[in-house]
């Protein structure tokens, strides 16, 4: 069984995922991280040097590589749901949980962040709201279940996810 976390940048996929994996004794996998390792470059550099299209292809290739993984919690990049193919691949991997977060909350959390190439617009609120409008239905379409997140409290998000998936932790 795998748990796959999806959601917008700053929704806490990595922190929550890492914690969940620890609690369950599962392997923790972060797609951005693996893509960085495989390309020997940060995500920001991949976007700058090779472009978004290349990065998206890397995401699809990685989801295919991960097929067959088990007992893993997989945290994904916020744009992984943009293609229909990826949405199907995510569902094939396991239980897909959408960490839903409001635009205002995301802005607070990402304030000062320089690692995310898609958030360079001066008016971040407008940018994030526009991106959320496009992505919200895609996250919902890809997900088996949806949970709100608890700012700064990944342990609460993790607890909620275990409840939703009806998984007990010893």
* Residues in contact with 15: Cβ distance below 8 Å, sequence separation at least 6, in sequence order: 154
Residues 19-38 that bind ligand S3P (CB under 6 A): 32
Residue 3 β-bridge partners: 73, 95
Cβ at position 43, least distance to ligand S3P in Å? 5
Neighbours of 155 (CB within 10 A): 13
Nearer to ligand S3P by Cβ, of 129 and 167: the residue is 129
Residue 94 binds ligand S3P, judged by CB under 6 A: no
Element holding 18 (H helix, E strand): helix 13-24
Q: Count the Cβ atoms, other than its own, within 10 Å of residue 125.
A: 12
- Distance in angstroms between the alpha carbons of the first and the last residue of the chain: 17
Least distance CB 139 / ligand S3P (angstroms)? 11
Nearest to 107 by CA among 122, 89, 93, 92: 122
In the region spanning residues 37 to 56, those forming contacts with ligand S3P, defined by CB under 6 A, are 43
Residue 78 as a binder of ligand S3P (CB under 6 A): the answer is yes
Identify which of residues 13 and 160 has a Cβ nearer to ligand S3P in the complex.
Answer: 13
Q: Are 105 and 57 in contact (CB under 8 A)?
A: no
91 versus 116: smaller Cβ distance to ligand S3P:
116
Segment interacting with ligand S3P, rule: CB under 6 A, options 75-83, 95-103, 138-146, 150-158: 75-83
State the residues that interact with ligand S3P by CB under 6 A.
Answer: 9, 13, 32, 43, 77-79, 116-118
């Amino acid at each position: 069984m795998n748990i796959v976390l999806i959601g917008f940048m700053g929704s806490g996929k990595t922190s929550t995922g890492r914690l969940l994996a620890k609690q369950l004794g599962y392997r923790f996998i972060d797609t951005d991280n693996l893509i960085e390792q495989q390309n020997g470059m940060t995500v920001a550099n991949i976007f700058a040097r090779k472009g978004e299209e290349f990065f998206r292809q890397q995401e699809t290739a990685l989801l295919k590589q991960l097929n067959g993984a088990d007992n893993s919690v997989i945290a994904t990049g916020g744009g992984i749901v943009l293609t229909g193919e990826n949405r199907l691949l995510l569902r094939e991997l396991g239980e897909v949980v959408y960490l839903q977060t409001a635009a205002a909350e995301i802005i607070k959390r990402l304030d000062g962040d320089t690692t995310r190439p898609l958030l360079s617009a001066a008016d971040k609120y407008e940018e994030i709201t526009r991106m959320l409008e496009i992505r919200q239905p895609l996250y919902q379409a890809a997900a088996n279940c949806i949970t709100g997140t608890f700012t700064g409290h990944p342990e609460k998000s993790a607890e909620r996810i275990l409840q939703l998936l009806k998984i007990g932790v010893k």
